[in-house]
Structure 1
């Protein structure tokens, strides 16, 4: 009974994530269209840059939604892991687009600083308020899921930075309205761009490490070797690979050299103890061990395949 309940709860959570993403997509399409029209009419580069960022939000949210749907697909003979890495790939794409958009904004801001133009600040203020409200609502929708899922975190960061960008645009609109400080528009664009790079780089680095099969930062391989070697029956642990498949799965494969030629039943009992150790102390939930006795092969902890 408890297994069935857990399974249904997981599906309801995933369906809720998909629904929240769809709502956020439509809200960002509305903001993007409004800000493009408003930016062209008002002449505000900050508003157009916010619209460009919102457009990247639409793309990133669509990518996140597709990845979320793909991640539910079952494994097959052609795809033995299914699409479990789809959400990591989406996080990589989304973080990369954040940085690309930021670079484009910096280029445009520098051009505008060299050739400043008057701006209709009233329109800027109202559209910035629209951006704050719509993106703020989307941020609240995705905040909970962003804490445990890299894909949702990438979508959440897009929306959070865009909400903050809209706040900056609002401040700029007020300054232009009452003090005619038009250069603040370009300055805010630069600030938005730098913030995008700062927010996107860390997520890009994390997702790249997962895609490159790097050992997770939280996994001390030397400590794993030391604790497995502490088993009386084990002579050495070598040829270790540790990688993160997705947000929920960390895999380890290794060769274990035994002190004597044990039976398969004895190996199964030792393997179970090793799996419990790895799960409890290191959160490694997928273990593949190759047993050996007197085999002539490299005994280094890390061996280049």
Structure 2
């Protein structure tokens, strides 16, 4: 069994301390907003403000989960954890995407109830507190935006904050409409719109993190094309029993059995392995290659993918 790997440039861990610091700032900002909005929502009777507070509370939990995952992912591998905690951030992304959808379902239920039983709302307080939410969440969104581009965990935290900022904008608009026109159902309508947007945003992230956790082949990696490319290298006869999976954002693994036309030397195999590794890394971003060489072994050579 031979194994080689390329280390790709790691964008998401370039500044782990900065990631952690930005998350801590966002956590404290969201704790303050949550407390302010709960008090304001109870005083004013605004469902959209209380739903915003609920979402902010879920932001606090999601940011704490993201922070813990960021710290865990930096821990070294050990003999009983040979991959270390490299999946910690993917698990955090899965949990946070799930909570986005759960919060959305709760909001839909609350919005329907408020449609049936509309209430008068103290709109001045709603306007000022939603404005506070926009400022604090907007600042947090800017802090996390760069890391969110390359990291599923940070993206999950970023989405919680982005949707919450948008919710605050919706609440602000609703507060102004209620103040000027006394149309109180707009509060429930905006809550429903926010909830549907949360489901829309959370679903893609939930699907992406589930694919990684289930060891599915990344969408950008065409297994058949890779097999055909490797089979063109002399003296390779056949490629079979292929597994390709994503460990985390930065590592894609390939393992395969390769049948050779002749009984080559180990030194020759090393040269062929380097060619395979370079081919799959530069074309498909696969940076860990694990090959089992075979010659004259009696097993099925036709099965490309098998458990």
Q: Deviations over 1:217-267 (max 9, x none)?
A: 000111101100001200000000000000000000000000011111111
Task: Tell me the distance in 2 between the aligned counterparts of 1:12 and 1:241.
Answer: 29
Task: Tell me the distance in 2 between the aligned counterparts of 1:32 and 1:250.
Answer: 39
| Unpaired runs of at least 5, structure 1 | 1-5
The answer to whether the Cα contact below 8 Å between 2:12 and 2:150 also exists between their aligned partners in 1 is no
Alignment map for 1:230-249 (pairs within 5 Å): 230-249=232-251
1:116 to 108, 115, 118: 118
Task: Tell me the distance in 2 between the aligned counterparts of 1:65 and 1:299.
Answer: 46
Q: Which runs of 4+ in 1 moved over 2 A?
A: 9-12, 300-305
Q: Deviations over 1:256-291 (max 9, x none)?
A: 000011111111111111111111111100000000
Task: Tell me the distance in 1 between the aligned counterparts of 2:145 and 2:29.
Answer: 16
Task: Quote the offset at 1:10 in angstroms.
Answer: 8.4
Name 1:57's counterpart in structure 2: 59
Name 1:254's counterpart in structure 2: 256
Taking structure 1 as the reference length, the TM-score comes to: 0.96
Task: Tell me the distance in 1 between the aligned counterparts of 2:304 and 2:62.
Answer: 37
Task: Tell me the distance in 1 between the aligned counterparts of 2:213 and 2:57.
Answer: 26
Name 1:183's counterpart in structure 2: 185
1:99 to 98, 101, 104: 101
Q: Which protein is richer in helix relative to its size?
A: 1
Task: Tell me the distance in 2 between the aligned counterparts of 1:204 and 1:10.
Answer: 19
Name 1:41's counterpart in structure 2: 43
Root-mean-square deviation over aligned CA pairs: 1.4
2:227 to 225, 228, 231: 225
Task: Quote the offset at 1:297 in angstroms.
Answer: 1.1
Name 2:133's counterpart in structure 1: 131
3-state DSSP of counterpart to 1:196:
helix
Name 1:207's counterpart in structure 2: 209
**Which one has more relative contact order, counting CA pairs under 8 Å at least 6 apart?**
2
Task: Tell me the distance in 2 between the aligned counterparts of 1:226 and 1:24.
Answer: 48
Name 1:3's counterpart in structure 2: none
Taking structure 2 as the reference length, the TM-score comes to: 0.95
Alignment map for 1:133-212 (pairs within 5 Å): 133-212=135-214
| 1:184–1:138 CA distance, 2 compared to 1 (3 A) | same
Task: Quote the offset at 1:40 in angstroms.
Answer: 0.7
Q: Deviations over 1:183-206 (max 9, x none)?
A: 000000000000000000000000
Name 2:4's counterpart in structure 1: none
- What is the number of equivalent residue pairs in this alignment? 299
1:269 to 265, 268, 271: 271
Task: Tell me the distance in 2 between the aligned counterparts of 1:192 and 1:16.
Answer: 30
3-state DSSP of counterpart to 1:241:
strand
2:19 to 17, 25, 37: 17
Task: Tell me the distance in 1 between the aligned counterparts of 2:298 and 2:55.
Answer: 58
Task: Quote the offset at 1:303 in angstroms.
Answer: 3.7
